[in-house]
Structure 1
Amino acid sequence: MADISPPDGNRRAGKRGAEKSGKVADFRYRSPSQPDGKKRGRRSRNRGDSRRKAPPPSQFPTNQRQAYAALDLGTNNCRLLIARPSGENFTVIDAFSRVVRLGEGLAKSGRLSDDAMERTLGALQVCAEKLKRRNVHLARSVATEACRRAANGEAFIERVRRETGIALDIISAEEEARLAVLGCHILLEGGDGPAVIFDIGGGSTELVLIEPGERVPRILDWQSVPWGVVSLTDTVGRCEGTEDERAARYAEMRRVVRDSFAPFAERIAERAKTSRDIRLLGTSGTVTTLASLHLELPHYDRRAVDGLIVPSSSMRDISTRLSGMSFQERGELPCIGQDRADLVVAGCAILESILDIWPADRLGVADRGIREGILRSLMAAEADAERSLKALKRLRNE
């Protein structure tokens, strides 16, 4: 890891946020006190099982029936995965995802709004019920940019713990980047050249320059900027109005992001110019949505999108087309809808800016990231602990 301070260095990351993957204060779910006997939210149906790539079997705990959980509270979404080790993979036994827009209005007010916190608490109560029902052995719950930036972020984290029993870690931008790489790097296109993995979130975007490794890639350089689909839209404004007004707003989004990327772009410029085969992998709702449009899917299909390699020129063409559309036109497109219609343009601006500084011919698409990275860390840490215990027992018996 290069010795580079992230741009969020003046923002609080919380005491627990400074710790690395697999080393958090408390993995386990705690039942909250319910003084009024009330619960928020409703139970949510299981949204389907799926399989994820994971470390070799030797890294997994020997008790294959234990459940592990990863919760990622972002600026826009609240996502949960609960899984069990399964051979060389792990099987997701429960999942939950809800758009909560926790960071809505944060760019202007500097605080999490009451409505946003209520929406998020409702989603987290559903997560808490799932954690309890699945009898989760180890879990890690993280919060990212919205809670890092908000003046009342720490107070909200404490309220979440009190009302739901979920202990959220406000992780640093560096840790967020590391977990994203750990969760999706196995989808990186084969080759010997350098690669950039990026994660376009709701409140920030992480860019990581990596060098392929035997099991996990080595991080050479990275940067986090405080621009995601929510924060950029709230700051610059929605791309509405006349065609000329929409074009001007999109150009301003591109300028803002380009200026923030400039230090990282300068550091990686030589590699981008001299390397014969540069590679690019993205994990975010932006890239999966645009990949769905590229495939002309009638509705989102993770199996078709996760691991897809798309020509970068196609992603640029789709971005340009979306930026020129009205909100109504974008909302009528498959895989976008009303929920993403106002935010997808900001994601397009960020993606195009990434392609400017790392002009790979192809873009890998990952529908996985931080949660999968957390699960791998938990399972690997548990397996390490088991191996250490067995080694200690052998020494005592000798």
Structure 2
Amino acid sequence: MPETTTRPAPDLPPLPAASVFARSDPASAAFAALDLGTNNCRLLIAAPTGSGFRVVDSFSRIVRLGEGLAQSGRLADGAMDRAATALRACADKLARRPVRRFEAVATEACRRATNGRSFLSRITAETGLHLRIISAREEAELAMESCAPLMEPKDRRALLFDIGGGSTEIAWIRVPEGAHYGASPELIGYLSLPLGVVTLAERAGQDCFTERGFCEVVAEVADHLAHFDRVHCIGQEIRRGGVRLMGTSGTVTTLAGVAMALPRYKRPLVDGKTLDCEAADTALGDLFALGREGLAQHPCVGPDRVEFVLPGCAVYAAIRRVWPTERITVADRGLREGMLTRMMRADRCASRRRAGR
């Protein structure tokens, strides 16, 4: 069942608090954030600037950690080995570039798997990396943190969705008056659906290439979203105006790349771009019409993501069905950027305290 603010998730047993890499160096100007998801392992190393941060190094690899999880309830040996290989590569990068602070998190696959914590203990033993399993709420909060700079003064609310590998997170956000001058947006509701591109691809991936199968997934997801909508009166707020729809995931960035007719995907052209929803909807139709072979050859998709694009598009289509808006803001950013923002802000606050200000 989906998780919402009206039914809190069960408490998870605490993990060790340490999440700092062994070669952390207080003298370094760089910070690092690692996100181990159901489908991807991603590392971002960045140095703070006056307006945010500058990326120094990065790593991203498809590991499919959640492969088979929905059926077995466990992380498979092959999936763990793939993730371990990627995490060793991340550890090697960090060993060559000590950072001021480092945070590493694991999400839905490790939350759900009965052997998720034992796998992370193995990773600590093999690499020295300590990964913390975060709740669905914290996942939504980190996505909100990373996307908050894309909001504008006219926004009263924001509806942010993140279509992940193992789950889809929906964040309903209040933008306080003056938020763009220092006050932080507030998460007033969230929904975590155990439906992501990997879980849907394994369960209904082949069907998503047919019109009937695609529409069945859209209807299933829309049913879950409709309950969340009723609880928070989101549709009513959208009709009042001042609500920004934002999407952060490979699905929505792919739709943006197709809508913009990019010859190949370029993050600087997509991140922060606001599209007419009709253009994004047309891009969805174009992707569906390509079929498996056409998707594999498309420069914004490629063979590694063929199985995941249409399941993600079905989730997007359900969001559009329940919450029709005129425009959507596309964010090529997520948990890592949210973690970096938090770490840098905490470091600045600590520096001011030490200086007696």
The 5-angstrom pairing of residues 92-103 of structure 1 reads 92-103=55-66
**Deviations along 1:324-364, whole A, 9 cap, x unmatched?**
44211211212101111111001111111111222110010
1:285 is aligned with what amino acid? G
1:153 positional shift: 0.6
Q: Distance in 1 between matches of 2:53 and 2:103?
A: 16
| Alignment-derived partner of residue 263 in structure 2 | 298
| Alignment-derived partner of residue 258 in structure 1 | 222
- SS of 1:30's equivalent in the other structure is coil
2:292 equivalent among 327, 346, 366: 327
Aligned 8 A contact 1:254 1:353 in 2: yes
| Alignment-derived partner of residue 339 in structure 2 | 374
1:223 has 2:191 as partner: yes
Which region of structure 1 is more displaced relative to structure 2, 266-275 or 136-145? 266-275
Aligned 8 A contact 2:28 2:100 in 1: no
Consecutive unaligned residues of structure 2, counting only runs of 5 or more, are: none
TM-score (ref. length: structure 2): 0.91
1:162 positional shift: 0.7
**Deviations along 1:133-168, whole A, 9 cap, x unmatched?**
111121000000011111111111111111111100
1:90 positional shift: 1.2
1:289 has 2:276 as partner: no
Q: Distance in 2 between matches of 1:240 and 1:200?
A: 16
1:219 positional shift: 1.7
The 5-angstrom pairing of residues 158-237 of structure 1 reads 158-213=121-176, 214=179, 215=182, 216-237=184-205
The 5-angstrom pairing of residues 264-279 of structure 1 reads 264-267=228-231, 268-272=233-237, 274-279=239-244
2:348 equivalent among 379, 383, 386: 383
- SS of 1:192's equivalent in the other structure is coil
| Alignment-derived partner of residue 15 in structure 1 | 14
1:277 positional shift: 3.7
| Alignment-derived partner of residue 28 in structure 1 | 20
- SS of 2:346's equivalent in the other structure is helix
Q: Distance in 1 between matches of 2:57 and 2:224?
A: 38
Change (3 A) 1:82 1:205: same
Which structure has the larger Rg?
Answer: 1
Aligned sequence identity (%): 44
Change (3 A) 1:233 1:13: farther
1:111 positional shift: 1.1
1:15 is aligned with what amino acid? P
- SS of 1:342's equivalent in the other structure is helix
**Deviations along 1:177-211, whole A, 9 cap, x unmatched?**
00000011211355233220111111111111112
1:236 positional shift: 2.3
Change (3 A) 1:14 1:254: farther
| Alignment-derived partner of residue 52 in structure 1 | none
- SS of 1:343's equivalent in the other structure is helix
Change (3 A) 1:86 1:328: same
Q: Distance in 1 between matches of 2:152 and 2:258?
A: 21
Runs of 4 or more, structure 1, over 6 Å off, are none
Change (3 A) 1:171 1:273: closer
The 5-angstrom pairing of residues 33-112 of structure 1 reads 65-112=28-75
- SS of 1:142's equivalent in the other structure is strand
Q: Distance in 1 between matches of 2:154 and 2:324?
A: 16
Number of aligned positions between the proteins: 346
